[in-house]
Amino acid sequence: MEKIRFGIIGGSGLYKMDVLQDIREVNITTPFGAPSDAVVTGTLDGVRVAFLARHGRNHSLLPGEVPFRANIWAMKSLGVDYLLSVSAVGSLKEKLAPRDMVLPDQFIDLTRQRSGTFFGAGAVAHIGFSQPVCSALSELVARAFDDCSLPDATLHRGGTYVCVEGPAFSTLAESQLYRSWGASVIGMTNMPEARLAREAEIAYATLALVTDFDCWHPDHAAVTAEMAIGNLMHNAI
């Protein structure tokens, strides 16, 4: 099997990449079950890329149902060294408006029910995770954004992503608590994904697409699924 060094995991609203050429679907079996869907491989500007829809191409998986270990294992088995996660998030800061994009560099993991490591069952190991995001990969994404010269798009570099269990959105008290921590955005899927990527020795970065102000903003309605999808579709266009 060919080695594919670059992988993309698409979150809500990103279920396929029409720009890929020479497409093949690869069904991968892992020790942790099947990934969210078949991995789609193709060529983008002459570079071989592997794409996986995190929730399945028909969005059939809740955040807590995503087989994170199988997904990362599948990417690793293809030879992926660099993995970009594209994820929908809510904003916890005034300056991060819906339809903006963020490159977080830190995570707070508040998930409770997910299998979050490849280790165990006799494999005793610990990883360094103080810097969970690959700064070089994030910088490449930022430079690619700048090269696109998108007049109506704003990219923010850095920030903390709070990952909650879901599928419920935050209470007002929770949203205000996360803001008091200095967190930037809130989502449901980047953990344990980022940690598993580190265990698999895959460089990881997140492109977070802001869809709403969660529920803390006095001048904006609390987030709904319809609101989030609407803003995601705008970003896709």
Q: Where are the domains of the chain?
A: 6-236
* 8-state DSSP, 217: -
Residue 219 among the catalytic residues: no
Residue 109 among the catalytic residues: no
163 touches 108 (CB < 8 A): yes
| CA–CA gap between residue 90 and residue 187 (Å, rounded) | 7
pLDDT, tens only, 145-198: 999 888 888 999 999 999 999 999 999 999 999 999 999 999 999 999 999 999
89 touches 209 (CB < 8 A): yes
Point out the catalytic residue in the list 100, 147, 214, 219.
Answer: 214
Residue 132 C-alpha from the chain's centroid: 13
pLDDT score at 105: 98
pLDDT score at 236: 56
215 touches 196 (CB < 8 A): no
Pick 209 or 236 by higher pLDDT. 209
183 touches 92 (CB < 8 A): yes
Point out the catalytic residue in the list 37, 146, 212, 219.
Answer: 212
User: In terms of CATH architecture, what is 6-236?
Assistant: 3-Layer(aba) Sandwich (3.40)
| CA–CA gap between residue 72 and residue 57 (Å, rounded) | 17
pLDDT score at 223: 75
| CA–CA gap between residue 150 and residue 101 (Å, rounded) | 12
Of the candidates 132, 111, 107, 99, the residue with the CA atom closest to the CA atom of residue 184: 107
Strands 39-44 and 47-53: antiparallel
pTM of this prediction? 0.93
> Given 3-state DSSP classes, what are the helix, strand and coil percentages for the chain, each rounded to the nearest 5?
25, 25, 50
11 touches 55 (CB < 8 A): yes
Question: 31: cis peptide before it, omega within 30°?
Answer: no
In this structure, of 1-15, 49-63, 108-122, 188-202, the range with the lowest mean pLDDT score is 1-15
- Other Cβ atoms within 10 Å of 57 Cβ, number: 14
pLDDT score at 90: 97
Q: Where are the beta strands (DSSP E) in the chain?
A: 6-10, 21-26, 39-44, 47-53, 82-91, 101-103, 106-109, 155-157, 160-163, 185-187, 203-212
20 touches 44 (CB < 8 A): yes
pLDDT score at 235: 61
What is the gyration radius of the CA atoms in the chain, in angstroms? Answer: 17
pLDDT, tens only, 69-128: 999 999 999 999 999 999 999 999 999 999 999 999 999 999 999 999 999 988 899 999
